[in-house]
Structure 1
Amino acid sequence: MPRLLSILAPIAAVASAVLSTATMALAADVVAPKVLVVTMFGEEAKPWIEGRKLETKIKVPGLSKEYPDVACDTEGLCVMTTAMGFANAASSVSAVLYSGLFDFRQTYVLIAGIAGVDPNDATLGSALWARYAIDGGLRHDIDPRQIPSDWPNGMIALGAKHPGEKAKWGAGTEVYKLNEALLEKAFALTKTVELADSDKAKAYRATYPAGPGSSAPIVAICDTVSIDTYWHGSKIAEGMQQWASLVTDGKANYCTTQMEDNASLTALRRGADAGLLDFDRIALLRTASNFDREAPGQTAAESLSAESGGFLPSTANAYRVGSTFANAVITDWPAWSKGVPNN
């Protein structure tokens, strides 16, 4: 036995050295982005790809086959695309977080994509930073043809007996509040960004004569509702506003609606709980591609199928505003690496 141990000892030492070298090599290959941009489909990612030299492509197992890699530049910016909807968003973000290919402990995560917009809050092309992300689907729903006559809609909290009653149980992912300091800083950095517009969008928004819907696009702060179902129309919108208010105790005013954010944030929250990132370094930006309800004299179905002209301005503005924020972080990284700067 002593002779066997003497033979094995050098072998173990060599194996340990090889393993140590391999570990160091692996650590050297890990990418530590200053900013990770999360887009949801190709047209959202396109302005980033065209506007940046994202020459490093990192293939990540578990990403969508349509968007199989994370693209990075040499300055500290990386861009990923989840594919649309809750399932794709949560799966793709999780795949990247747990891949072992990145170190996100100091990274700022920017979710940047397009959305529907409430014309009472903003208009086509507007860039809207979110304070709250609210899941619009974790509830009961009764078909409008079967709801009691004295109910405003069929949206009921889980375990509740009527609209407006608080939930009796839940999933724990219904509401995310983003870091207020980062939100205010992102807004301050981007509120004067020149926004893209289009003649088609200008003409279409004129059919919404009252309120911000008819005005020029703006950068602002409001809240977002996430739900897999691409809903549309003023009646559902009224219900969603009541829902957003209910689940945040009256604190949220939703202005955008989209199909991924609570799913992405859930994956990020779990990653933060595992020590892989800082949840206070997440910013959420949605730009208005379409109105979420019909104009006066228009049906909801007509509005849903209308070509509003907002798509191209919205994808352009998600990049214009998002890149302004990302540039600020990357350029002044010594300050941002320690946390959100005070000035």
Structure 2
Amino acid sequence: MKAAVSLSKRMTKAFAAMTLAASLAGCASAPRSPQSASGAREVKVMIVTMFAPEGKAWLDRLGPWDAIDVAGLSPDYPQVHCNRDDVCVVTTGMGHTNAAASMMALAFSDRFDLRSTYFLIAGIAGIDPAQGTVGSAAWAKYLVDFGPQWELDAREKPARWPSGFTGINTKSPNEKPPLDYRTEVFALDATLADTAYALSRNVTLSDSDAAKAARARFKYSPANQPPKVIQCDTLAGDTWWSGKFIGERARAWTRLLTDGRGVYCTTQQEDNATYEALRRAASVRRVDVSRVAVLRAGSDFDRP
């Protein structure tokens, strides 16, 4: 992912209204008190963003806001913002470490009751030109971590290997590794993902001259077509990468870890870490991970 900030602002603005509408439509419930018996604020939707331009797309449109200090959040983003409809926005900071630490702080804070909250993880990402284009917004069913692999210097790899990557404790790149980390791949709730996609698939996304120029160099679809809402899966890893051969490994790794069910299309840094923090909270019934949706919008292509 090599997102330019100016492009990211346009991207997040384009899908902000659509994603919230889809999320709230899927979250309809009976009216309830804004506070639980413990005094914690009950949250209907928690929008999870990773850096300031992603958060700004929501904060500029859905206020007015209450700014709530939460101990343990990133020092750059120490507050959660909640509006009168109990829709809240948190910004975690970028990368695996910031995402995990901030989400643990949020999930275990006594300021909020998150047991019935829907979480929308919404941000930008690099995109595979075989699946989408700049501006496409992709709902994921699978979260795959690109990090837990062995990597040989590509100049020293076996000649038969397509890249220097292979799964940990495997003998070849095509062998599925034992999932010893227990965070290598997550399946999101399919019903929620399908509902979000169905509600938003016909939304016309905004386009721009910059996006048109970015896709004009591709000779094939969907890379050279206008952006649209799609459904395909997302790959997390703190290393920002670009290139055909790493991109091919991203596709193969996603297929391998999902037993052929997943289709790689976006690359970002945080989502497996964010989800694992929520999963830890779910283990003590502080959140419900069947209420987690992930939407990533293409800010740039993952290969030249």
Partner of 1:125 in structure 2?
135
Give secondary structure in 2 for the equivalent of 1:70. Answer: strand
Q: Is the 8 A contact 1:132 1:176 kept in 2?
A: yes
Please say if 1:143 is aligned against 2:157.
no
Partner of 1:285 in structure 2?
295
Could you tell me the percent identity over the aligned residues?
A: 45
Q: Is the 8 A contact 1:54 1:71 kept in 2?
A: no
Partner of 1:202 in structure 2?
212
Question: What displacement does 1:161 show?
Answer: 1.6
Residue pairs, 1:166-245, within 5 angstroms: 166-168=176-178, 170-245=180-255
Q: Is the 8 A contact 2:141 2:232 kept in 1?
A: yes
Residue pairs, 1:246-261, within 5 angstroms: 246-261=256-271
**Number of aligned residue pairs:** 270
Larger Rg computed on CA atoms: 1
The 1-side partners of 2:179 and 2:116 are apart by: 34
Which of the residues 38, 47, 55 maps onto 1:45? 55
Partner of 2:23 in structure 1?
none
Which of the residues 58, 61, 65 maps onto 2:68? 58
Please say if 1:35 is aligned against 2:35.
no
Please say if 1:274 is aligned against 2:284.
yes
AA paired with 1:94? M
Partner of 1:100 in structure 2?
110
Gaps of 5+ in 2: 1-34
Deviation sequence 1:280-306 (CA, Å, 0-9, x none): 000000000000001xxxxxxxxxxxx
Go from structure 1 to structure 2 and tell me whether the alpha carbon gap of 1:287 and 1:26 turns closer, same or farther (over 3 Å shift): closer
Q: Is the 8 A contact 2:36 2:42 kept in 1?
A: no
Question: What displacement does 1:27 show?
Answer: 4.6
The 1-side partners of 2:120 and 2:140 are apart by: 11
Deviation sequence 1:75-109 (CA, Å, 0-9, x none): 11000000100000000000001111111111100
Q: Is the 8 A contact 2:278 2:289 kept in 1?
A: yes
The 2-side partners of 1:252 and 1:54 are apart by: 39
The 1-side partners of 2:153 and 2:64 are apart by: 47
The 2-side partners of 1:276 and 1:193 are apart by: 33
Structure ranking higher on relative contact order (CA contacts 8 Å, 6+ apart): 2
Give secondary structure in 1 for the equivalent of 2:141. Answer: strand
Q: Is the 8 A contact 2:216 2:224 kept in 1?
A: yes
Question: What displacement does 1:168 show?
Answer: 3.6
Deviation sequence 1:240-263 (CA, Å, 0-9, x none): 111111111111111000000000
The 2-side partners of 1:185 and 1:76 are apart by: 21
The 2-side partners of 1:194 and 1:238 are apart by: 30
Q: Is the 8 A contact 1:140 1:157 kept in 2?
A: yes
User: What is the TM-score with the length of structure 2 in the denominator?
Assistant: 0.87
The 2-side partners of 1:142 and 1:239 are apart by: 13
AA paired with 2:160? D
Q: Is the 8 A contact 1:178 1:282 kept in 2?
A: yes
Deviation sequence 1:123-163 (CA, Å, 0-9, x none): 00011000100000111111101101111111111101221
Give secondary structure in 2 for the equivalent of 1:106. Answer: coil
Please say if 1:165 is aligned against 2:175.
yes
Moved over 3 A (4+): 25-29
Partner of 1:324 in structure 2?
none
Please say if 1:154 is aligned against 2:160.
no
AA paired with 2:299? S
Go from structure 1 to structure 2 and tell me whether the alpha carbon gap of 1:126 and 1:26 turns closer, same or farther (over 3 Å shift): closer
Gaps of 5+ in 1: 1-24, 295-343
The 2-side partners of 1:196 and 1:26 are apart by: 39
Q: Which of the two has greater helix per residue?
A: 1
The 1-side partners of 2:84 and 2:100 are apart by: 27
